[in-house]
Amino acid sequence: MDDQAVLGDYICVLAQEDGVSIIGMTRGKDTKFHHTEKLDKGEVMIAQFTENTSAIKIRGKARILTKYGELISGRDQD
């Protein structure tokens, strides 16, 4: 895969509740957490995949926009 295509990817995360966690994970031999952010309801973060970031984990209810489409994370409360 073309590195430039992957490294240029962004995601947009819109928190739909307080306390949404966004965790950046490293590239390389061992995958480790390298950065964590907390968002409150209504806050937005734009994240980019880089030479250091190979994955982004999102915990909590959030709307996630990518060039591939839209996702909703978190569980619905009945």
Tens digit of pLDDT for each residue in 22-73? 998 887 777 777 889 999 999 999 988 887 777 888 999 999 999 999 999 9
Q: Tell me, yes or no, whether 22 lies in a domain.
A: yes
Query: How many distinct structural domains can be found in the chain?
Result: 1
Q: Tell me, yes or no, whether 37 lies in a domain.
A: yes
- What CATH number does residue 46 fall under? 2.60.40.50
Q: Tell me, yes or no, whether 78 lies in a domain.
A: no
Greatest mean pLDDT among 5-9, 19-23, 26-30 lies in 19-23
Between residues 57 and 18, which one has the greater pLDDT? 18
Single out the residue of 14, 19, 4, 68 nearest to residue 46, CA to CA: 14
Single out the residue of 58, 52, 62 nearest to residue 18, CA to CA: 62
Q: pTM for this one?
A: 0.78
pLDDT at 41: 98
pLDDT at 32: 76
